[in-house]
Structure 1
Amino acid sequence: MRKIQSSEVKARLPQILDEVERGETVIITRHGRPIARIVPEVDNRAAEIRKTMDRIAAFRQTMPRLSVEEILSARHEGHNY
């Protein structure tokens, strides 16, 4: 979440809307006091998160199953202690 002066919003509205579309919340201030908040559309954001989680789940199905020992072994592989 970031704050921006109301006078700056006029000049940078397209960039601010791009940030909000990417999920950032922007607080607009006047004389240092918050006067408004621009937040991402909840429905679009929730759908995007669901789609991403589905893609991650599908990707995980393509990966080989590894035991904890294999993961720990790979973590230290190539280290010089």
Structure 2
Amino acid sequence: METVGAYEAKTHLTQLLKRVAKGEKITITKHGIPVATLQPADSSKKMPVREIIDQLKRFRSGHRLDGLSIRDMIEEGRR
């Protein structure tokens, strides 16, 4: 893992991001002390849109408002 100073990181951010997109990890230091790490985003956390919609539908089917209107909820929140 490469280490770069904060000033260099600020000056060359575009180039650093290109390297990170290719899989590199880069530590940013301030006065020689590590303060941040640039690393590729975790793409495994992305879920297909269809799956998210299905989860929302399942959630909605199990949670009802029992006749409450939005206006009732707003008024309840103001008390």
Interval of TM-score (by shorter of Structure 1 and Structure 2)? 0.5 to 0.7
Equivalent residue for 2:14? 14
- In 2, the alpha carbon distance for the partners of 1:7 and 1:27 equals 13
Q: Percent identity?
A: 36
- In 2, the alpha carbon distance for the partners of 1:30 and 1:11 equals 14
Normalization by structure 1: what TM-score?
A: 0.51
Question: Which of the two has greater helix per residue?
Answer: 1
The one-letter code matched in structure 1 to 2:32 is G
- In 1, the alpha carbon distance for the partners of 2:19 and 2:13 equals 10
Runs of 4 or more consecutive aligned structure 1 residues displaced over 6 Å after TM superposition: none
Q: Deviations over 1:10-60 (max 9, x none)?
A: 11000000000000001000111100011101217xxxxxxxxxxxxxxxx
Equivalent residue for 1:28? 28
Task: Give structure 2 stretches of 5+ with no counterpart.
Answer: 45-79
The one-letter code matched in structure 1 to 2:38 is I
The one-letter code matched in structure 2 to 1:20 is V
Equivalent residue for 1:5? 5
> How far apart are residue 5 of structure 1 and its match?
0.1
Report the count of equivalent residues. Answer: 44
Larger radius of gyration: 2
